[in-house]
Structures are given as structure tokens and as C-alpha cells.
Amino acid sequence: GAVVSQHPSWVICKSGTSVKIECRSLDFQATTMFWYRQFPKQSLMLMATSNEGSKATYEQGVEKDKFLINHASLTLSTLTVTSAHPEDSSFYICSALRGQQAFFGPGTRLTVL
């Protein structure tokens, strides 16, 4: 199956700092990637759809200025959590679309102190 990686796998940061999370499709090109967030005991909630070479499409209620998404190449999408606050602490997971099938990364655990 296709491989999707995320980096870092976990990060701890101070409140007010920005954190960048990378999502890479290792063995295929993905024009579309998705970013999800999962709070404890809740489902994966879609935050945004990342399209290579164009602006991301954000879901209702997700602040685009806070969660910056850049999909500069066919194998890399980045999510930057700007001015992170403790309530942004969550598990962030990406998926990359190959054909009509989505392949998920292992996730990034963000803890904001």
C-alpha cells in the first residue's frame, strides 16, 4: 500500500509559538491531501482540504489564519498552527489521496503548554 509520513510524530511547545507539521506521500504523488484533528475520545474531524498549487479549502469553524496550509509540491503538505494555545493541543493527522483512496499518516501529537 501507499505510504504517508508525518513529521514530527509529537511536539510540545509553549503557548504563543507556531508549530509546523509536515505530511509527505513517500511513494506516490498526491494533488489532494486532507488534514484532520482528533480530540480524545472523539472522531477525526476534517479541518481542511489541501490542493497542490492552490489555496486550501477549510471546513466551517476552522480558522484559516490560525491553521496555515501549504501544499507546495505533489508530495508535501504542511500545516502550521500559528500562535498555538493549550486548546489547540490535539492529535493532527493527514491523509493523501491516490486515485479515490485516502492513505493516512501516523499522526502528530501536539501539546501546547
Partner 1 sequence: DQQVKQNSPSLSVQEGRISILNCDYTNSMFDYFLWYKKYPAEGPTFLISISSIKDKNEDGRFTVFLNKSAKHLSLHIVPSQPGDSAVYFCAASEANFGNEKLTFGTGTRLTIIP
48 near 62, Cβ under 8 Å?
yes
Contact 60, 17 (CB under 8 A): no
Residue 76 and residue 82: Cα distance in Å, rounded?
19
Instruction: Tell which one of 30, 79, 107, 110 touches partner 1 (CB under 8 A).
Output: 107
| 8-state DSSP, 17 | -
Residue closer to partner 1 by CB (options 88, 95) is 95
Chosen residue from 17, 18, 101, 111 binding partner 1 by CB under 8 A: 101
Q: Does 45 bind partner 1 (CB under 8 A)?
A: yes
Residue closer to partner 1 by CB (options 82, 102) is: 102
The Cα–Cα gap between 92 and 107 comes to 5
Q: Which residues bind partner 1 (CB under 8 A)?
A: 1, 4, 6, 9, 32, 34, 36, 41-46, 49, 93, 95, 97, 100-107
